[in-house]
Amino acid sequence: LKRKLALDVPLTDNSVPANFDSGVKVVVRMRPLRHDKEEVDSSAVKKISNDSLFINGQNFTFDSVADTNATQLDIFELVGAPLVENCLAGFNSSVFAYGQTGSGKTYTIWGPPNSLSEDNITNDQRGLTPRVFERLFARIDKEQTKHSDQQLKYQCRCSFIEIYNEQITDLLDPNQRNLQIREDVKSGVYVENLTEEPACSMKDVTQLLIKGLSNRRVGATSINSESSRSHTVFTCVVESRCKSSADGISRFKTSRINLVDLAGSERQKLTGAAGERLKEAGNINRSLSQLGNLINILAEVSQTGKQRHIPYRDSKLTFLLQDSLGGNAKLTMVCAISPAQSCRNETFSTLRFAQRAKAIKNKAVVNEV
Ligand code: ADP
């Protein structure tokens, strides 16, 4: 089912909230040790305070460090609640979960398997995404009631994709493979023929999440499984229309929420790969390594103030999310780490990545439609 819910010719509300915070927010989440498999008494990482930790003789400071005691609700309050407010204020707002396979990205973004169900939306284990939409719909209700005199109305529509081997699959219609990204003046960057479903309630979103997640490549997580090498992106476009009581003119705002579960950041072993296999391995990583390049470039531009070409188009993920990475965008990186000694090197490189992301400052540029 493909529906287009575009409103009339939009007149955008260009106001930038006074409290616009331009930085990329970086939250580190450390998962608990797995007692069945990992040394219990030797953590490679030490949390020092609510925003800093220590590893390999080095201190790192971020916006927040959530340790093994942090609950799914804590992470929602830290990351999800501000995401909803930013989106309602008109900013494209994204959360990316970054980290090695097994560090807790999927747990953070969606929750463990079976935590999502239509008749039980109170499961404590449910992840960031269902909690974000519960809050979003509650806030929309409140805003519509508060501004009923201005006939404020919101509409949401959702899509769900997987990027594997630089190919985009529609998780809401998995027969649609190898979809192409297009760009034009009217619609900006979009995926051609992608299913977009209207969503008016938590029930609608839960159904879409259950359907899409079950269509991912492989459910089980292991370092070499295909699932650990694919990116999943759930997007919700939020449109609002409001009639000014002063001049009677309708004003429109459009912004999007992206929840992104990235491929495992561990370096893929290319040993023995040749020809097509080698090409495939390169493609699998291209979106992730290109995201790393962009983070480096955006951080450099923020620090030096020098303009540079930003190569968004060099991978599917960065091309698709370019409106959510720079300019008018609010980005939160949840960097998932394991405290296990065996993960020390990967954890260290995740924290180095997180540190570079922290250096980015976006500009409060407003969308022009
Ligand atoms: P990733 O998506 O990074 O590969 P997962 O989210 O699948 O990792 O997490 C690996 C395992 O660790 C899963 O069994 C998950 O339920 C568990 N896990 C991850 N983070 C936490 C946490 N904060 N608390 C409890 N269990 C967790």
- Asked if residue 229 has its Cβ within 6 Å of ligand 1, the reply is no
- Asked if residue 112 has its Cβ within 6 Å of ligand 1, the reply is yes
Q: Give the distance (Å) from ligand 1 centre to CA of residue 139.
A: 29
Cβ–Cβ < 8 Å for 30, 339: yes
* Cα–Cα distance, 279 to 166 (Å, whole number): 11
- Asked if residue 101 has its Cβ within 6 Å of ligand 1, the reply is yes
- By most ligand atoms within 8 Å of CB, the mutation choice from 107, 125, 221, 350 for ligand 1 is 107
Q: Give the distance (Å) from ligand 1 centre to CA of residue 84.
A: 24
User: Considering the chain, what percentage of its residues have pLDDT values greater than 70?
Assistant: 82
The encoded tokens of residue 55 equal 């590893």
Residue 221's pLDDT band, with cuts at 50, 70 and 90, is very low
Q: Give the distance (Å) from ligand 1 centre to CA of residue 46.
A: 19
Domains along the sequence of the chain with CATH: 25-358 (3.40.850.10)
Q: Which has the minimum average pLDDT: 50-54, 107-111, 113-117, 278-282?
A: 278-282
Q: Give the distance (Å) from ligand 1 centre to CA of residue 362.
A: 31
pLDDT in tens, 4-56: 333 333 334 444 444 445 578 999 999 998 876 666 667 889 999 999 999 99
* Cα–Cα distance, 129 to 63 (Å, whole number): 21
CA-closest candidate to residue 365, choices 317, 313, 330, 315: 330
Cβ–Cβ < 8 Å for 326, 266: no
- Whole-model pTM: value is 0.89
Residue 3's pLDDT band, with cuts at 50, 70 and 90, is very low
Highest mean pLDDT among 120-129, 178-187, 261-270: 178-187
Q: Which atom of ligand 1 is nearest to the CA of 109?
A: 6
- Structure ipTM: 0.99
Phi, psi of 190 (to 5 degrees): -150, 160
- By most ligand atoms within 8 Å of CB, the mutation choice from 27, 28, 31 for ligand 1 is 31
User: Considering the chain, what percentage of its residues have pLDDT values greater than 90?
Assistant: 57
Q: Give the distance (Å) from ligand 1 centre to CA of residue 108.
A: 8
- Asked if residue 343 has its Cβ within 6 Å of ligand 1, the reply is no
Residues sharing a CB contact under 8 Å with residue 236, sequence separation 6 or more, in sequence order = 133, 136, 156, 157, 158, 199, 205, 256, 257
- Asked if residue 103 has its Cβ within 6 Å of ligand 1, the reply is yes
The encoded tokens of residue 210 equal 């259950």
- Asked if residue 221 has its Cβ within 6 Å of ligand 1, the reply is yes
Q: Give the distance (Å) from ligand 1 centre to CA of residue 74.
A: 16
pLDDT in tens, 225-274: 666 889 999 999 999 999 887 788 888 989 999 999 999 998 765 545 56
- DSSP label of 327: S
